[in-house]
Chain A
Amino acid sequence: MRDKHSPREGKENGDLLNRSVSRRKALSIGAKIGLAAGIGVIAGAIGGYLASMSMKAPVTTVEKTVTNVVTSTVTKTVTYTVSPVETTVYTPTKKYAGEKIVFTYVDAGFTKAIPDVLPKFTEETGIEVVAQRFSASALIAKELADFRAKTGSHDVVINHVSNAALLMGEGFLEPLDEYIGRDKDEIHIDDIPESSILFRWPWPDGKIYSLPIHAGSPPTFGVNKKHLKEAGLEIKVPETYDKWREYAAALTRKPDRYGACPFGGAGGELHTVAAFFHQTVRGFGGDIIVQAGDNKWKVIVNSEEAIEALKFNKEMGDKYGPEGWTGLTLSEQMLLYTQGKLSTLITFSDYWPRACETPGLETLFGYIPAGKGGHQAMYMNWEIGIPADSKRKEAAWELVKFLLRKDIHRYLVEKGCGAVRLSEFNDPKLLETRPFYKVMGEMLAKGYTFGLPMIVPWGEITVKVIGPIVSGYYAGEYSAEEAVSRMETMIKDILKKNDLLAE
């Protein structure tokens, strides 16, 4: 009698333990798996290649010497008082050696070089830094959750100024006045333009809760010099919105070249589309909300100026911009510009270096055009601060000082961080590769910039109301009148909910 566990019996009965696979079957299975894997790899490679081809900008090699010429009109002499870098009074202290602090910041282009300098900080102070990076939206969500729970799990944070009001309003940030007063020479507070320090803005208690570490704004206006010559236009940046419209009309040669491309925000970046709209409204002489009394605000967005601003941007995009301009990201706008397909562009200092580094491309930089409201350029930045629930505030302040120290911050600027110091905006070496800094510094010094309303729900207003409604208008969902009316109603509801509405 055959043993039921014999190999032959097991195979016939399908007994897994005794089942044997023939060499031919094993090779067949192996070959099939290998073939499937190979097809997957080839498909992935083709897909990746096609994706990169569609995104790649053409590279041209130019054999002649290229000179970037910056022309700007200065109407008054401005003298900057700058503390000399070489006589920095910063003395590393080992007082907090052995402490460990948590540094939470956004994962963005301007923070790429921060990990380079952290080891130097540890070497100088003995303070260990645990760095954690998040995307912009995840950052604020995480911070709010941790701050509300008072976990004390962050010691130094970098936040966008649009969220700063929320963090300050809820008492999540530590006032820095005492620290700045004590160490103002070390951080050269006079070298930071007044308009960029939060305590100069109308925050109710007048305290400083954070300091600027990166400023991609004020945005600058750039125009392709070669295109101006070809079109027979005056070689200068258009000073007004009407002049910009004229230039855009003369420069547009669809589908090869576009005269202008406003930011439509269809793919996201609602803060940015709201900020651009705010900038244009103010340029046309209007605003979104204005302070009317002690921490009370009046909503004035439902105005002729706001309607005009919306219509202007839409007209510029529809008539002189590429098809689907509303869906372009800031990077894609710059890609169009560096490819020579876009003649004029308003964008941030994060993106202009790409234009400056493109061989054969000469850009003239100038102020944001003026309307009835004059030159109005938004000023938003990223701020560094210390959470109120941090248990290592002194050690945290050492890191804040270090990152804002002139030599360290200069290094960060060279590696992609935006300038925030007057000395940086006027540094001859930086101006060679970033000529737009001169224009940015001038706009700040002349007061052509405006900041965000420092109210707790401003982030909510931009993301929930202004951003979506403006991008919806550009996409044809509303008329301009409907858009501003809806904005007015919704902003009033939010201000009322927060007890900020002036009756």
Chain B
Amino acid sequence: MFILLKNTKLASFLNIKTLFILPALTVFITVIVYPIAYTLIHGSKTASNVFSDYILFQVFKNTFVFTLGCLALQLPLGLLIAILLNQDFPGKKVIGALIIIPMMVPSVVNAAMFQLIAASQEYGLLNSFLHVFGIPPVNWIGRPDTAMLTLILANSWMFTPFVALIYLGAISGLPKEIYEAAMIDGASRLQRFVRITLPLLKTATGVIILLRLLQLVMFFDLPYLITSGGPGYSTMSIVQYAYITAFISGDFHYAFTIASLIFFILMSVAALFFRYTKGWWRGY
């Protein structure tokens, strides 16, 4: 057969080297490509439901608010911590070690902890603390606005150290000569920070935003464990909604449609992000 096919394009494709990848290719097609294609074909029947799904719009909005809220808190706070840790002061290493402890706590433990802290006005730790200062208790998870704030705080407590570590690595690698030159030119501390530090940290900021964006859009554990997506739908995440659709409603096709939507949106956001931040990746 190979003699017959000799010098044909098929023969060049069917060489022994190509045949070696056949087992892996078979597994890939069977385990990944076929299920995705099957679900896409059957899921397309439910794709039109997306436009009339009230809950879907709510959860997209929640995910957007949560993502923006977390980035708005974690970026400046992480940068501040990194700048502080970049200084020399007594106990710096101990404080540095303590700061990364939240990152080592499993998210389920984190959620249980924040539930104890924020859960109720009568017994929550946070309200007991506020009571000491005469501040009236707050219904942290019983109101839509404070429930989302609680989730943002819970996520920020866990991931701000991660942001700080990346910034710290970037800051410690900044060239000192530029700062020396700026100081000679009479630049103030604020000017050095705004005109030199921030621009030089664009790459690190880009990395952090991209990584956190992908993680934040996929958030599930905190709303699932702390608020169950409530009150109402005010803290339900898109992934939680996909989970409920799949495992409570039993509608795996529509759940896959939602998951596909998340995938395409994330890809689009990442593509746009890279497109408009080209200058950030050139280094300094």
Contacts and interface: CB of A to CB of B under 8 A. Distances in A.
B119 A327 contact: yes
Interface in B103-129: 115-117, 119-125, 128
B228 A270 contact: yes
Interface in B250-274: 250-251
A103 interface: no
Given A270-B228, A475-B231, A332 B123 contact: yes
B247 A144 contact: yes
Given A264-B142, A329-B120, A36 B94 contact: yes
B141 A267 contact: yes
A459 B246 CA distance: 12
B168 interface: no
Nearest to A462: B248
Label chain B's interface by main secondary structure: loop
A96 to B, nearest CB: 33
A471 B231 contact: yes
B143 interface: yes
B133 interface: no
A267 B228 contact: yes
Contact of B98 (A36, A137, A472): A36
B149 to A, nearest CB: 14
Nearest to A335: B123
Given A324-B142, A327-B141, A328-B122, A268 B248 contact: no
A388 to B, nearest CB: 16
A477 B232 contact: yes
Contact of B120 (A332, A478, A494): A332
User: Interface range on chain B: under 10, 10 to 19, 20 to 34, or 35 or more?
Assistant: 35 or more
B120 A328 contact: yes
Nearest to B233: A468
Contacts, number: 149
A21 interface: no
Interface stretch (A48-56, A243-251, A412-420): A48-56
Contacts of A475: 142-144, 230-232, 234
A498 B137 CA distance: 45
Contacts of B233: 468, 472
A39 B96 CA distance: 13
Interface string B131-154: 000001111111110010000000
B55 interface: yes
A408 interface: no
B1 interface: no
Contacts of A473: 232
B195 interface: no
B125 A51 contact: yes
Contacts of B251: 497
B150 to A, nearest CB: 10
B230 A54 contact: no
B125 A54 contact: yes
A170 B232 CA distance: 29
Contacts of A323: 121, 136-137, 139
B97 A471 contact: no
Contacts of A266: 139, 141-142, 147, 227, 230-231
Contacts of B228: 267-270
B54 interface: yes
User: Interface range on chain A: under 10, 10 to 19, 20 to 34, or 35 or more?
Assistant: 35 or more
A166 B250 contact: yes
A170 B120 contact: no
Interface string A9-50: 000000000000000000000001001100110000000001
Contacts of B124: 54
Count chain A CB atoms within 10 A of each CB in B123, B124, B231 and give the residue with the most. Answer: B231
Contacts of B119: 267, 327, 329, 332
B92 to A, nearest CB: 12
B244 interface: yes
B108 to A, nearest CB: 11
B22 interface: no
A130 to B, nearest CB: 23
B30 to A, nearest CB: 16
Contacts of A489: 54
B229 A324 contact: no
A264 B142 CA distance: 8
A285 B109 CA distance: 44
Nearest to A493: B52
Nearest to B94: A36
B128 A270 contact: no
Contacts of A140: 247-248
A477 B247 contact: no
Contacts of A456: 250
A324 B232 contact: no
A456 B230 CA distance: 24
Nearest to A457: B249
A477 B61 CA distance: 15
Contacts of B138: 324
Contacts of A335: 122-123
Given A35-B94, A471-B232, A478-B232, A267 B116 contact: no
A395 to B, nearest CB: 29
Contacts of A497: 251
B120 A324 contact: yes
B226 interface: yes
A55 B119 CA distance: 11
B93 interface: yes
Contacts of B139: 266, 323-324, 326-327
A320 B233 CA distance: 26
Contacts of B122: 322, 324, 328, 332, 335-336, 341
B234 A32 contact: no
Interface in A436-493: 456-457, 459-460, 463-464, 467-469, 471-478, 486, 489-490, 493
Given A324-B138, A328-B122, A475-B230, 17 more contacts: A40-B98, A40-B101, A53-B128, A55-B116, A140-B248, A144-B250, A266-B142, A267-B230, A270-B230, A327-B121, A460-B249, A468-B233, A468-B236, A469-B232, A475-B142, A478-B232, A489-B54
Q: Please provide the 7 A-B residue pairs with the shortest distance between their CB atoms, ordered closest to farther.
A: A472-B232, A268-B228, A324-B139, A324-B121, A327-B142, A475-B231, A326-B142
5 contacts: A266-B142, A325-B142, A328-B120, A472-B230, A476-B143
